[in-house]
A and B are shown apart, each in its own frame.
Chain A
């Protein structure tokens, strides 16, 4: 029996809630993860005892807040194996991070005749910024073909990455199929032709050890709220050589060096990209989340997520009239499925009546739905507070849904 990795009763009060007379089973962590007390308390403590704006004032609280903000950046840099904490840029989340690279660097990196490579499994946030970039600069958007089981093979990458490729933008783990993508191979290929690789880590950073040096990538985007941190805080990590060239998108306070009536010069990285008062409490909460995860150990988190993801895949695969998408092994923490003749919204509704939270819809991946030939799917996703018991509840709920609509 796979048990939750953490003391759920102690750390996650929300998971003690009863929903419609049943203990809540949270299987929607790919949308957002629940927050442990340790993270909630860190945010509370900041507002209650240390709140001040950062970087500018000389008083004691400002110094405390500035130190805490800088320490958060260091914690997060360490968590992803960044060489320098200045390479960590705070954003609102993955979406803002990816838009920042596409606009701030993509425009100067691509022109007519150049190619940008994405995959059909990308979340809209790692698709539309590149699609629109291609429209702006006249570059060509190319898609790597998916194999039958929704995986990306090295051969498929080789078929699409070539001398004209300037940017490859790929998710490390799919938010729908649970596919684990060959990021290192893609990186090697695009570096060979002098391009860059941008990685959407929204579904990978919460679940596995991340080392940007070892991955040898140029950019990594991820969100705090999917890894037990607060909403409204995320990260764009980038190699210094690219960040130095990248243009800021938000002009305003704190991001400048010198301003007169007609001109302005920019502050150094990362302040250059963080105009306005940053999400200080969010950064503190995210660093608390990285400590929470590191205390458990990301290797253990990874083993747990994969073991549960694969168990869920196998369990659903056995049920008649249920289609499970994506590869069986390895399978990430998100499991997309459909029940024959029952719309995903109706599945999610019956699940809710049983206290089980899943997602139903296109999961912000409409081109992937088109590739799968479905309008939408149901999706269950697991994290460190889930255990085998939750997968059994998932199975029961599917059987109950089938009974309910076949009455």
Chain B
């Protein structure tokens, strides 16, 4: 097992300097999610305008994998439509269990090593699950 396969430079970089790690002032949508196995938590804020993610921020605490993954996700979905953001989250989750992604995942691909560490998949998908939960809730309200 090579640790560097898991902790790629990109991941350590996002962990040390997370992007969009802040609470939004007037989020359209906000959702919190807990990883009950470790007690880690994330809160995701979304500013939506006509179905487009105008701004996104996250707060919370977690391991380097979950924080880096959240940071990368927020960068990837900013400016995207809700549908595209959701598709990205879903493709990324499939990608971690070995299904090739149908979409370009950008920096998130650096998390590929996580697939060899089943206990860490939950960390890497915490933000993505939060996004899915949030957008599923907005479906219900619309």
Which B46-79 residues have C-beta < 8 A from chain A? Answer: 61-65, 67
Residues in A whose Cβ lies below 8 Å from that of B1:
20, 352-353
Known contacts being A350-B3, A353-B3, is A345 close to B63, with CB within 8 Å?
Answer: yes
Is A346 engaged at the interface, CB distance under 8 Å to the other chain? yes
Chain B 1-22, CB-CB to A under 8 Å as 1, else 0, gives: 1010011000010000000000
Interface pick from B36-44, B88-96, B98-106: B36-44
Once the chains are docked, how many angstroms separate the CA of A349 from the CA of B12? 14
A20 to B, closest residue via Cβ = B1
Chain A 17-42, CB-CB to B under 8 Å as 1, else 0, gives: 00010000000000000000000000
Chain A 232-257, CB-CB to B under 8 Å as 1, else 0, gives: 00000000000000000000000000
- B interface residues (Cβ-Cβ under 8 A, vs A): 1, 3, 6-7, 12, 37-41, 61-65, 67, 117, 120, 123
CB atoms of A349 and B37 under 8 A apart: no
Residues in A whose Cβ lies below 8 Å from that of B64:
342-343, 346, 405
Residues in B whose Cβ lies below 8 Å from that of A231:
none
Once the chains are docked, how many angstroms separate the CA of A273 from the CA of B40? 38
Is A360 engaged at the interface, CB distance under 8 Å to the other chain? yes
Once the chains are docked, how many angstroms separate the CA of A352 from the CA of B61? 22
Pairs A–B under 8 Å by Cβ, sample size 11: A343-B64, A345-B40, A349-B6, A352-B1, A353-B1, A360-B38, A362-B38, A362-B39, A404-B3, A405-B12, A407-B12
Once the chains are docked, how many angstroms separate the CA of A350 from the CA of B7? 10
Question: Closest CB-CB distance, B62 to chain A, in whole Å?
Answer: 7
Is A104 engaged at the interface, CB distance under 8 Å to the other chain? no
CB atoms of B39 and A345 under 8 A apart: no
Question: Closest CB-CB distance, B2 to chain A, in whole Å?
Answer: 8
B38 to A, closest residue via Cβ = A361
Residues in A whose Cβ lies below 8 Å from that of B62:
343, 375
Residues in A whose Cβ lies below 8 Å from that of B123:
345
Question: Closest CB-CB distance, B35 to chain A, in whole Å?
Answer: 9
14 further interface pairs, Cβ-Cβ under 8 Å (given A375-B41, A375-B62): A343-B61, A343-B67, A345-B40, A345-B63, A346-B7, A346-B65, A349-B3, A361-B37, A361-B38, A361-B39, A366-B39, A405-B12, A405-B64, A407-B12
Residues in B whose Cβ lies below 8 Å from that of A345:
38, 40, 63, 65, 120, 123
The 4 A-B pairs with the shortest beta carbon distances in the complex, nearest first, are A345-B63, A343-B63, A362-B39, A361-B38
Residues in A whose Cβ lies below 8 Å from that of B63:
343-346
Interface size on A, residues (CB 8 A): 20
Question: Closest CB-CB distance, A391 to chain B, in whole Å?
Answer: 22
CB atoms of B40 and A375 under 8 A apart: yes
Known contacts being A345-B65, A345-B120, A345-B123, is A376 close to B40, with CB within 8 Å?
Answer: yes
Secondary structure at chain B's binding surface: helix, strand, loop or mixed?
mixed
Is A369 engaged at the interface, CB distance under 8 Å to the other chain? yes
Once the chains are docked, how many angstroms separate the CA of A343 from the CA of B39? 12
Chain A 339-359, CB-CB to B under 8 Å as 1, else 0, gives: 000111110011011000000
A350, A352, A376, A405 pick with most chain B CB within 10 angstroms: A376
Q: Which of A350, A353, A369 contacts B39 (CB 8 A)?
A: A369
Residues in B whose Cβ lies below 8 Å from that of A375:
38-41, 61-62
Question: Closest CB-CB distance, A378 to chain B, in whole Å?
Answer: 11
Residues in B whose Cβ lies below 8 Å from that of A376:
38-40
Once the chains are docked, how many angstroms separate the CA of A375 from the CA of B38? 8
Residues in A whose Cβ lies below 8 Å from that of B6:
349
Residues in A whose Cβ lies below 8 Å from that of B37:
361
Once the chains are docked, how many angstroms separate the CA of A361 from the CA of B41? 12
A352 to B, closest residue via Cβ = B1
A361 to B, closest residue via Cβ = B38
Residues in B whose Cβ lies below 8 Å from that of A405:
12, 64
Chain A 198-241, CB-CB to B under 8 Å as 1, else 0, gives: 00000000000000000000000000000000000000000000
CB atoms of B39 and A349 under 8 A apart: no
Once the chains are docked, how many angstroms separate the CA of A376 from the CA of B38? 7
Chain A 388-407, CB-CB to B under 8 Å as 1, else 0, gives: 00000000000000001101
Once the chains are docked, how many angstroms separate the CA of A342 from the CA of B7? 13
Question: Closest CB-CB distance, B112 to chain A, in whole Å?
Answer: 16
Once the chains are docked, how many angstroms separate the CA of A346 from the CA of B63? 6
Residues in A whose Cβ lies below 8 Å from that of B12:
405, 407
Once the chains are docked, how many angstroms separate the CA of A404 from the CA of B6? 12
Once the chains are docked, how many angstroms separate the CA of A362 from the CA of B3? 24
Residues in B whose Cβ lies below 8 Å from that of A350:
3
Residues in B whose Cβ lies below 8 Å from that of A353:
1, 3
Known contacts being A343-B62, A404-B3, is A349 close to B40, with CB within 8 Å?
Answer: no
Residues in B whose Cβ lies below 8 Å from that of A360:
38
Residues in B whose Cβ lies below 8 Å from that of A404:
3, 7
